[in-house]
Amino acid sequence: MKASNTMKKIVNLLIMISLLFMMDKVVYATSLEPNNPISVSNLNIKSITDPLNEVTTLVPTQSYKLHFTVSDSDNLDNVYFEVLLHQGEYNPETILGVNQNGSEFGLYWNTGLQSEPQVVYDENTSNLNSTWVLVSSNVSQFESGLNTYEFEIEFKVSKVALASNNWGLTVRAMDDYRDEAIGALAPTNDIESIPGLGVAWYGEIQLSSETMSWGNISYDTTYSSLSSLANCSVNVISNGTYDLSSKSSESWVGSTKFDQLNQDLQATLVSDSSLESNADQTFSLRLNDENSYNLSSAIQLSSEYSMFALDGSKTTEGGSTVQLYIYIQLSQKFRNGLYWGSISIGISNSLD
């Protein structure tokens, strides 16, 4: 049975419509291969003065150069890295940034930054009140299209970075590349750490004034005299426990003309018991760090250092203020004049 001409036209029309639909449909093929992984390698810290020497113990106030290589067989055009020098184990959940306790030093950089890496500070700290310092880096020499690059970052260690042997250094690198046509790929990352870094002990004393005076006192001044007291304050900065000590120059010089250029007088430092037998031109000193004179706690000063404060606690960046009270006693015979000498304050590691 033959189809009518009308039926043939309908069939042909349907076939043509079907072909047209097929011709209008465009199919795209996309590779779902992930980015090649980024990696960090060759992580080390070297001395500035000896660039061939890798160091494992850092000294506060000293500068060092951090080296690490970032590689990606795609390219590093979207590289991002974080550097964290941290006390204790690395934990990205508890990163505080640079803080007053000196417990960590953190910075970051990405290819969108045209300047030095940025230091991360906590809310109470800035570059004005931190002794961690980012000195320089070679990021300005970074170029697009590179597959590998050795970053160099020079930094200075904080005065209050805790004196211990359980510091670590962690570098976290990321490739921030995303291709929406194949789905939002999470950035690949690699973390490399140097565990077991150490920070050496550090102590520093800052005097509120370089001079101290008893003013006008009489030749028979004793420790019990009101005029025998002079005081000063010192600010201590330390990254561990510390001891304080003091000494005096053995001889003080003077001038009858109240002129330091004309040194025609001399007085000798002695112990308390020596004052009676050395009744001419001798003096003795005692020191304590309490707010009132207490003979039992004051130390006798000599020309050698003597401890007067033990086991002080690690300080923050701002330091800790210690008030010192120094008492003088003169022999029965003491010539009138202006005398000057030195009293030194020392700080040392209480664990030594």
For 39-200, CATH gives: 2.60.40.10
pLDDT recorded at residue 294: 72
Please tell me which residue, 236 or 50, carries the higher pLDDT value.
236
For 204-349, CATH gives: 2.60.40
pTM for the full model? 0.82
| pLDDT tens digits along 292-332 | 667 678 899 999 999 999 999 999 999 999 999 999 999 98
Main-chain phi, psi angles of 141, to 5 degrees: -95, 0
Lowest mean pLDDT across 63-67, 170-174, 199-203: 170-174
pLDDT recorded at residue 180: 31
Q: Report yes or no: 197 and 57 within 8 Å, Cβ to Cβ.
A: yes
Main-chain phi, psi angles of 9, to 5 degrees: -65, -40
Listed by start position, the domains of the chain span: 39-200, 204-349
Coil, strand or helix at 98 = strand
Please tell me which residue, 181 or 139, carries the higher pLDDT value.
139
pLDDT recorded at residue 292: 62
Q: Is the dihedral of CA 13, 19, 20, 25 positive or negative?
A: positive
Fold match between domain 39-200 and domain 204-349: yes
pLDDT recorded at residue 100: 95
Half-sphere exposure (Cβ direction) of 109: Cα atoms closer than 13 Å: 21
pLDDT recorded at residue 35: 64
Q: Which residues contact 35 (CB under 8 A, 6 or more apart)?
A: 72, 74, 175, 177, 185, 188
Residues in the chain: 352
pLDDT recorded at residue 162: 97
335 CB neighbour count, 10 Å cutoff: 14
